[in-house]
Amino acid sequence: MTAREADARRTLASVTIVVAAAGKGTRFGGEIAKQYLDIDGKTILEHALERLESLNPKEIVLVVAPDDDRYRQIPATARCRIVTGGDTRAQSVLNALQEINLDPDDWIMVHDAARPCFRMEDVIHLVDRATQNQAGGLLAHRVVETVKLADEHEQVVSTENRDALWLAQTPQLFRYGLLRGAMVDAIDSGVTVTDESSALEFAGYRPVLVEGARSNIKVTRPQDLELARWLLARDPAEKAPT
Ligand code: CTP
Ligand code: MG
């Protein structure tokens, strides 16, 4: 471990992590919300929580849907603070931010429950890089495919220049005060906020992109489940130091 990685691990001890798990999984479909689907004996949420716990953060705040009665069956949720989510992901995250009152300069990490396959080293790297930037930062990867702009008939209008295009992932890491204020303003202004970074961008900030593995997929459609299963089997979670 380099000295900077050791510093980042120490920083994590003062970081609160918000886990967004209040979605319905509409694109995935099915009876059970996707965060509660099983992969090798554990739910997707459980896999994500185990990995986050092994980072030894200050606290994990889990945002669940108002009608959720499944999270209690997951032992790791007993160690989380539970907050009720809202109609959108942004509202769910804002509910959590408003429930926890932190110092404005404290660092807060936000993660999607639907991303159980992130690499620890990428998160350590994120903490190292984002804490050096006033506007924080996020894991992301570069677009590698050729990007097409389509019309309403799914016919190609043009090919976009991908050189400056990145796909945002989570975790994302920001100063608590900045993020909370930016989320309130963005939601009040009716801006579409599909990740925390967009709220900061709307406020004029430039969060730093920290390149992470493309394998940090968001389980969104049924075909993603098999890939997540394969990725988790290949790279099991580290055990949390006791
Ligand atoms: N999420 C949330 N509150 C919402 C909507 C989403 O906490 N109101 C969470 C989801 O549980 C998920 C993460 O945000 O872990 C990323 O969202 P997404 O992949 O879009 O999940 P869903 O909204 O559940 O799926 P869909 O958009 O297909 O309905
Ligand atoms: Mg959604």
Residue of 31, 37, 47, 89 to test ligand 1 pocket, by largest number of atoms within 8 Å of CB: 89
Ligand closest to 114 (CA) is 1
DSSP for residue 178: H
Q: What's the pLDDT at 235?
A: 82
Ligand closest to 34 (CA) is 1
Q: What's the pLDDT at 128?
A: 97
| Residues contacting ligand 1 via CB (< 6 Å) | 20-28, 35, 63, 85-89, 92, 112-114, 218, 220
Ligand closest to 64 (CA) is 1
Q: What's the pLDDT at 240?
A: 45
Q: What's the pLDDT at 231?
A: 97
Going residue by residue through the chain (242 aa), what tens digit of pLDDT does each one get?
899 999 999 999 999 999 999 999 999 999 999 999 999 999 999 999 999 999 999 999 999 999 999 999 999 999 999 999 999 999 999 999 999 999 999 999 999 999 999 999 999 999 999 999 999 999 999 999 999 999 999 999 999 999 999 999 999 999 999 999 999 999 999 999 999 999 999 999 999 999 999 999 999 999 999 999 999 999 877 554 44
Closest CA to 85 of 93, 77, 74, 73: 93
- Measured in Å, residue 27 CA sits from the centre of ligand 2 at 8
Q: Which long-range contacts (CB under 8 A, 24 or more apart) does 42-45 make?
A: 43/70, 43/74, 44/113, 44/114, 44/116, 44/219, 44/228, 45/19, 45/21, 45/71, 45/74, 45/77, 45/113, 45/116
- Measured in Å, residue 10 CA sits from the centre of ligand 1 at 30
Locate 142 and state its tokens: 């570069």
Residue of 31, 44, 112, 221 to test ligand 1 pocket, by largest number of atoms within 8 Å of CB: 112
Q: What's the pLDDT at 1?
A: 83
